């Protein structure tokens, strides 16, 4: 196992293998049931095995999935996304988040004829070497030579990185809608930061690429920076857009279309039709159900409950994140020892969340399942206090 899917990085109580999912619940191969607060790391948006989405995908699969080219569903899905996302005038489909963010960089370079890309220190954009750590095994210094770094929410550091890269060689600034790096509390962007990176891209002619892979469809159906009034040139989406069926998409504004047309980009499975049917169903259900507000309320119920429990048990914690992507960290927990014990106890008590990566809420998290999760987290706080004492 590799990366985030490797349970060896988690407390020993966590299972490696799962049997099935239903709504917001998961079962491991030993038959243990969990209220799932990781949502398959984002894809589970409306509930595992959502009947209407399953039906839409199965109906297309019955006619064929991977064919010699796309079905008309591709056009319908592109038009739906372009209607829904104000900055977008065109769409390019692919499979994983890495495909979409990397295509964003490739399109930006194709359109500008420039090399350099700026990303925030600690941000995750996938496994391609333009965005992995400079010391990532299996990569060369040359793989990283065109990437420079800034600090999230620090416009001055973006300006310094632009200077280092050279304005005339800057192809793109790639940025996530919120700061959701592992091992730290979540942080929203400041208005000044969002507007600042937009202004720098306008001045330099570089593309502003919004990596909406993790937040997309959880914060705002139009794109996660729409509430800030800041529109990217390109945006990368995956995870939640087909409720778990594999698909990703790069959306772009008109001035970037020609650059996109010129690139060579394709994949054997990129035009698979069943995930496109699933995506159309997902987008329609989310639109009609006010799902984002449902997730926000459920996440808030969880966050408020956690704050109260921590207080009652005498722990100093920080509950961060927009309610749809909540997270909890302990004070005085440099090596995340408390987080490890607490999340392990949560798993033992039927709640699947994570010690150092943000969690995810789905539309299927109703009050009863949040309350069930809170029973488990309460037990976990009690176990931690019995073991370690409180603050």
List interacting residues with ligand PMP (CB under 6 A): 41, 96-98, 101, 124-126, 176, 211, 213-214, 238
Nearer to ligand PMP, 81 or 215 (CB): 215
**CB of 385 vs ligand PMP, minimal distance in Å:** 33
Nearer to ligand PMP, 176 or 324 (CB): 176
**CB of 174 vs ligand PMP, minimal distance in Å:** 9
Residue with tokens 């372009």: 82
**CB of 68 vs ligand PMP, minimal distance in Å:** 25
Nearer to ligand PMP, 131 or 204 (CB): 131
Residue number, nearest CB to ligand PMP: 97
317: Cβ–Cβ under 8 A, 6 or more apart, which residues?
306, 307, 310, 328, 329, 330, 331
Consecutive H or E run containing 55: helix 51-63
| Chain-centre distance for alpha carbon 186 | 13
Residue with tokens 């607060």: 37
Nearer to ligand PMP, 241 or 298 (CB): 241
Q: What is the DSSP letter of 6?
A: -
**CB of 366 vs ligand PMP, minimal distance in Å:** 26
**CB of 316 vs ligand PMP, minimal distance in Å:** 28
H helices present in 85-236, as ranges: 97-112, 141-144, 155-165, 191-204
Q: Are 103 and 236 in contact (CB under 8 A)?
A: yes
385: Cβ–Cβ under 8 A, 6 or more apart, which residues?
313, 314, 315
Nearer to ligand PMP, 9 or 41 (CB): 41
| End-to-end C-alpha distance for the chain, whole angstroms | 36
Q: Are 201 and 177 in contact (CB under 8 A)?
A: no
Nearer to ligand PMP, 124 or 359 (CB): 124
**CB of 177 vs ligand PMP, minimal distance in Å:** 9
């Amino acid at each position: 196992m590799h990366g985030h899917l490797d349970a060896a990085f988690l407390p020993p109580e966590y299972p490696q293998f799962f049997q099935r999912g239903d709504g917001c619940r998961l079962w491991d191969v030993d038959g243990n049931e969990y209220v799932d607060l990781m949502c398959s790391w984002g894809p589970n948006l409306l509930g595992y095995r959502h009947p209407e989405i399953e039906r839409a995908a199965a109906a297309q699969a019955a006619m064929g999935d991977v064919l010699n080219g796309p079905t008309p569903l591709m056009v319908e899905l592109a038009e739906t996304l372009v209607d829904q996302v104000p900055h977008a005038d065109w769409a390019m489909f692919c499979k994983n988040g890495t495909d979409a963010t990397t295509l964003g960089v490739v399109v930006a370079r194709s359109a500008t004829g420039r090399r350099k890309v700026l990303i925030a220190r600690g941000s995750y954009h996938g496994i391609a070497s333009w965005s992995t750590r400079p010391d990532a095994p299996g990569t060369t210094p040359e793989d990283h030579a065109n990437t420079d770094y800034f600090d999230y929410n620090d416009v001055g550091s973006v300006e310094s990185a632009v200077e280092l890269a050279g304005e005339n060689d800057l192809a793109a600034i790639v940025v996530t809608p919120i700061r959701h790096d592992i091992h730290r509390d979540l942080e929203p962007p400041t208005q000044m930061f969002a507007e600042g990176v937009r202004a720098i891209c306008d001045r330099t002619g570089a593309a502003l690429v919004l990596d909406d892979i993790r937040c997309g469809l959880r914060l705002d159906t139009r794109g996660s920076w729409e509430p800030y009034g800041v529109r990217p040139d390109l945006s990368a989406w995956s995870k939640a857009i087909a409720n778990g069926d594999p698909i990703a998409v790069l959306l772009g504004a008109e001035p970037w279309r020609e650059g996109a047309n010129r690139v060579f980009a394709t994949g054997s499975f990129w035009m698979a039709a069943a995930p496109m049917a699933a995506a159309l169903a997902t987008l329609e259900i989310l639109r009609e159900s006010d799902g984002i507000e449902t997730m926000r309320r459920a996440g808030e119920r969880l966050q408020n409950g956690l704050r109260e429990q921590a207080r009652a048990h005498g722990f100093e914690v920080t509950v961060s994140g927009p309610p749809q992507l909540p997270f909890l960290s302990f004070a005085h927990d440099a090596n995340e020892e408390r987080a490890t014990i607490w999340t392990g106890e949560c798993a033992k008590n039927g709640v699947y969340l994570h010690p150092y990566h943000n969690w995810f809420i789905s539309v299927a998290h109703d009050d009863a399942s949040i309350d069930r999760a809170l029973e488990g987290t309460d037990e976990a706080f009690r176990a931690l206090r019995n073991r370690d004492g409180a603050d």
